[in-house]
Amino acid sequence: MPAHLPAVLAACDRNRERDRADLFRLLAQPSISTQNVGVRECAGLVEAFLDGAGLAAQIIETPGHPMVFGERSGPPGAPTLLLYGHYDVQPPDPLDAWVSPPFEPTVRDGRVYARGAGDNKGQFFAHIAALRAWVETAGQLPVSVKVLLEGEEECGSPHVDGFVAAHRELLAADLVVTADGPAHHETRPQIEYGVRGLLYVEISARGAAHDLHSGNWGGIAPNPVWALVHLLGTVLSPAGEITVEGFHDDVRPLSPAARDAIARIPLDPGAALASVGLTRYAAPEDLGHVERLVGRPTANIAGLHGGYGGEGSKTIIPAEATAKLDFRLVPDQDPDDVYAKLLAHVRRHAPDVAVRRLGAMRPSHTALDHPLAAPLRRALATGFGAEPFDVPLVGGSLPDAVWTRTLGLPSFVVPYANHDEANHAPNENLVLDRFYAGIRTTAALVAELAADGR
């Protein structure tokens, strides 16, 4: 085991009461970015915690909510670890679905319940607690560490791209580690090597100036719902293939290493489906569970609305119809390029249909055999007491491409939170033992990177 690490781990174990109390202070501070509730107060608190852990901390303004940044240099020539996270949280509603109030952290059955417990305060605070244990125990860090905590992740991270591009020096590092998202497995930790990107669009069709009587106008007036149905039928086939021309141009085929990693992911597909009340997969049927998330982009209708939706019958030709679609993108697709192709497709098949872009995020990708994955694997094994497995790509989106594409760095996502953390939902929670395992993991990672760098 690397130098100092046994002593630091022992300190982590001794500090549990204090770390938990500090986490609770952080959770008690609302920081709802979409509603601008408590965000700046929370930024100040986070700055104070970074400062208390021995880092040089500062609040950096953006056009939106501020970033909180901290750094501490290690010995000359040591690698630099950049830890990314976010201190803002989702709105807590519906409030009456919470067993205990969302901003009054409460422990039940070994879990702390609070908004932000898992997403993301409990996870990034594990980093801070580990760094504090290191500095208090060893008087120094064996590598350079930077911490960037965003205040707008739950708004879709609108300013991270610009911030990172404008602060290349400040953020210079050898690797990025993000503790976010729920783990897939109860006991074994995981490393995620990329996230899917996203393109979100709204498409709208219009018919007559107002709803028409379907008897008096049926056969005469174009129906905008039919227009969307026929257009959408050209976007995804019943067989589950996206049929937008050029859509797959930049899809990177799964490498043998990725297929290998997928095969080793511990998963019971039947149980996974059953957990949400499903008995079958989306088309095509003959794909592995994980390959559906890792290997291919998706075209999803998040909503489609037009015409009468009440009880019983109403015989109208609707005047308008709107669909919201999200496309999950895989490396090396680019949302700008995909949007241009989608737009051309719509122009060709339904020139009267309007398309509006509501959001975009690039997919990210780090090679499975990147050498800096090795120290992270060892750290996770130390922290969680079980061998980690590799997930080449995860389904959800994070602004991870700012590291892999904008800065060209390897970036690893390691979820410390339990699979049932209920992020974005009522009764969000974090298993406290996983919080402590996360602290030990970050502590070990610092040591392993130092050992690795020698």
How many whole angstroms separate alpha carbon 48 and alpha carbon 225? 54
| Of residues 226 and 339, the one with the C-beta less far from its own copies | 226
CB 331, min distance to its own copies, A: 15
3-state secondary structure of 10: helix
Least distance from C-beta 107 to its own copies, angstroms? 21
Instruction: Give, in order, the Cα–Cα distances in Å from 101 to each of 21, 138, 419.
Output: 17, 39, 22
Give Cβ neighbours of residue 403 (< 8 Å, ≥ 6 apart).
Answer: 82, 84, 164, 176, 364, 409, 410, 411
Neighbours of 283 (CB within 10 A): 13
Nearer to its own copies, 216 or 255 (CB): 216
73 vs 234, beta carbon nearer its own copies: 234
For its own copies, the closer of residues 74 and 156 by Cβ is 156
Residue with Cβ nearer its own copies (79 or 295): 295
**Residue among 418, 425, 422 nearest 182 (CA):** 418
Q: How far is the CB of 345 from its own copies (least distance, A)?
A: 14
Please tell me the distance from the alpha carbon of residue 335 to that of residue 338, in angstroms, as a whole number: 5
CB of 140 to its own copies, least distance (A): 38
**Shortest CB 337 distance to its own copies, Å:** 20
- Please give the helix or strand (H or E) that residue 228 lies within, else none: helix 224-233
Q: Which is nearer to its own copies, 74 or 306 (CB)?
A: 306
Task: Kindly state the smallest distance separating residue 448's Cβ from its own copies, in Å.
Answer: 28
Reduce the secondary structure of 88-151 to three states and give it as a string.
Answer: CECCCCCHHHCCCCCCCCEEECCEEECCCHHHHHHHHHHHHHHHHHHHHHHCCCCCEEEEEEEC
Q: What does DSSP say about strands 67-72 and 111-113: parallel, antiparallel, or unpaired? A: unpaired
Using an 8 Å Cβ cutoff, are 388 and 265 in contact?
Answer: no
Quote the DSSP letter at residue 287. S
- Toward its own copies, which CB reaches closer, 169 or 285? 285
Minimum distance of its own copies from residue 449's CB (angstroms): 28
